[in-house]
Structure 1
Amino acid sequence: MDTRTIIDKIKQNKKQPNLRFRLKRETEAFTDLLFLSLFDIETPIDKNLPLLQEKFDLLADLACWDPEKACSSIWEDYLQALPEILEKLNLDAQAIADCDPASLSIEEVYLAYPGFYAIAIYRLAHELYKKKFPLVPRLMTEYAHRQTGVDINPGAHIGKSFFIDHATGVVIGETAVIHDHVKIYQGVTLGALYVAKNLSDTKRHPTIENNVTIYANATILGGETVIGANSIIGGNAWLTSSVPPNSKVYHNPEIEIRTHQNDK
């Protein structure tokens, strides 16, 4: 094939007229500026609000190609929600500082803890998800996922004082519900028991009640699965059914001692 034919064939197969990867880059820039404006003492929120609105309007132009959706009007409501989101995030940071003996200061949590960063971007994205802003909330949490290894779907519902320690490998599905003062560790999955497109409008992920601790690499699956308040789920546990409040669930590994005799 000559060059002209190759170009024509490629153009024929670029079938998504609204697929602009610039949206991804602009979402990341908006997310960075929003995070710094809320937390960084050297990034003035008053001066940045007009710039944030400008970036948001650009996202609305790129993401809201449905003429029946007036996405730009979401900004004012979103702006009104930011103080409450920040209050929740300060509670998250304090929970991490209070629970982790390795944290030497609250500033360390904001600056160095990937779990806090993932929670922060989730909370900022969740507010847009509730307003049905297309694509951008998912791009925000995927940006955090790429940086931290924590995959929180923006549709999840997470209560106050949430603590993720070490962070890497955590997965929290779209319909998961997490109540207040929950602590989870690296590798925890709050996932679906079945994966099928026709289940998109059903609750597929578990509910975690108040004051639950879930240790590393535990897997909890299913929309009807409820982990009762004040429970402890041990590392590597696998759960597909509910447990009552005040439970302790542990994985019991089987250990086989190999000898030269049974190797033969």
Structure 2
Amino acid sequence: MNDITHLNGKYDWGIDTLVAQLRDLRVQSLETRSRRDKPPKLPSRKELQIILEGLSAVLFPNRLGLPDLNDEGIDYFVGHTLETLLRELYKQIRRELQFISGHEGVDKVANEQAISIARQFAARLPTVRALVDTDIQAAFEGDPAARSPDEVLVCYPGITAIIHHRLAHILYQLGAPLVARVIAEVAHSATGIDIHPGAQIGESFFIDHGTGVVIGETAVIGRHVRVYQAVTLGAKRFEKDDNGLLVKGNARHPIVEDDVVIYAGATILGRITIGHGSTIGGNVWLTHSVAPGSNITQAYARSELFHGGAGI
């Protein structure tokens, strides 16, 4: 006989009990985290993903915009799309500010601050476009498989990730770190590339292949840097305060100077400096600074040749 009771064509799943148990746990969790009975809504990941797709189309309307756009309609498309997207972005920023303040509903201070952040973000979109152009060119010049910059834009996950990052980094700087983090995680899910929005990245940045790349919050990357898949720019250790809690925001990730190449699988940890013009080989584990022009590789594996099976 089944453990689940069958009554009048329906199964008794114990829904009422489950709902009550989940409610009790939810209330307990909220009291532990924030002491709020009804916390304000968080920014919506789904809405931000739509905003990101629209912003990418605004930045590159000929390649990522509507398929039937002509020269006469591009400016109208960009203007109309921007008007809609910035209004929606403002709402998501306002949600973050209300969540932080603990106020739900009409909050004049949060409202004005959200408008200001959205306006400043919009003013920096031309800078983002110019930076991404340098990233696309770096990828085209750095990958012999790339046949055109347009191919790089529409096909390379590293470009998708860096577009998201350059947008998220502005929001992070302007005071919307949660919205920025959601944007970073949208890119992470789509590309397998995990870049914290706090990371500072210079022009002409190229991530080749990309899957498994991790770049931490306080990493600083110079100009004309190229990294390959599975590279980690991470923290060596996490400092704790007197209460045993992790210290937030301290500089704990590497500084990578200009014209550095980091090959696949390299792990670079701690607040160390990779001097300009250096090359870091594949699968290298590095926890100390290296001088400019360094060439760091794995130690050669010791091998012995056994003739006729000798020594086996």
Counterpart residue number, 2:203: 160
- SS at structure 2 position matched to 1:252: coil
Distance 1:231 1:247 in 2: 5
Counterpart residue number, 1:231: 278
Residue 146 in structure 1 maps to residue 189 in structure 2: yes
- SS at structure 2 position matched to 1:37: helix
Long gaps (5+) in structure 1: none
Distance 1:22 1:5 in 2: 31
Residue 29 in structure 1 maps to residue 50 in structure 2: yes
Counterpart residue number, 2:33: none
After TM superposition, the score normalised by the length of structure 2 is: 0.78
Long gaps (5+) in structure 2: 1-12, 31-37, 67-76, 104-108, 240-244
Counterpart residue number, 1:92: 135
Distance 1:230 1:10 in 2: 56
**How many residues of Structure 1 are paired with residues of Structure 2 in the alignment?**
262
- SS at structure 2 position matched to 1:190: strand
Counterpart residue number, 1:54: 87
Higher mean C-alpha displacement, 104-113 vs 40-49: 40-49
Question: Matches of residues 49-198 of structure 1 in structure 2 within 5 Å?
Answer: 49-65=82-98, 66=101, 67=103, 69=110, 70-196=113-239, 197-198=245-246
Which of the residues 258, 267, 280 maps onto 1:210?
Answer: 258
Residue 45 in structure 1 maps to residue 78 in structure 2: yes
Distance 2:249 2:93 in 1: 25
Cα 1:249–1:134 shift into 2, 3 Å: closer
Cα 1:255–1:105 shift into 2, 3 Å: same
Q: Tell me by how many angstroms 1:255 deviates.
A: 4.8
Could you say which structure has the larger radius of gyration? 2
Residue 10 in structure 1 maps to residue 22 in structure 2: yes
Q: Supply the RMSD in Å over aligned alpha carbons.
A: 2.1
Q: Tell me by how many angstroms 1:21 deviates.
A: 7.0
Q: Tell me by how many angstroms 1:13 deviates.
A: 2.0
Q: Which amino acid aligns with 2:121?
A: Y
- Percent identity, please: 38
Q: Which amino acid aligns with 1:8?
A: A
Q: Tell me by how many angstroms 1:221 deviates.
A: 0.6
- SS at structure 2 position matched to 1:36: helix
- SS at structure 1 position matched to 2:268: strand
CA contact (8 A) 1:64 1:134 kept: no
Distance 1:246 1:152 in 2: 26
Encode CA deviations 1:210-236: one digit per residue, 9 max, x unaligned. Answer: 11111111111101x100011111111
Encode CA deviations 1:133-156: one digit per residue, 9 max, x unaligned. Answer: 041111111111111110000000
CA contact (8 A) 2:43 2:96 kept: no
Q: Which amino acid aligns with 1:227?
A: I
Counterpart residue number, 2:35: none
Q: Which amino acid aligns with 1:188?
A: V
Higher mean C-alpha displacement, 7-16 vs 165-174: 7-16
Encode CA deviations 1:233-261: one digit per residue, 9 max, x unaligned. Answer: 11111110000111110112425569766
Q: Which amino acid aligns with 2:287?
A: T
- SS at structure 1 position matched to 2:227: strand
Higher mean C-alpha displacement, 85-94 vs 62-71: 62-71
Distance 2:189 2:41 in 1: 20
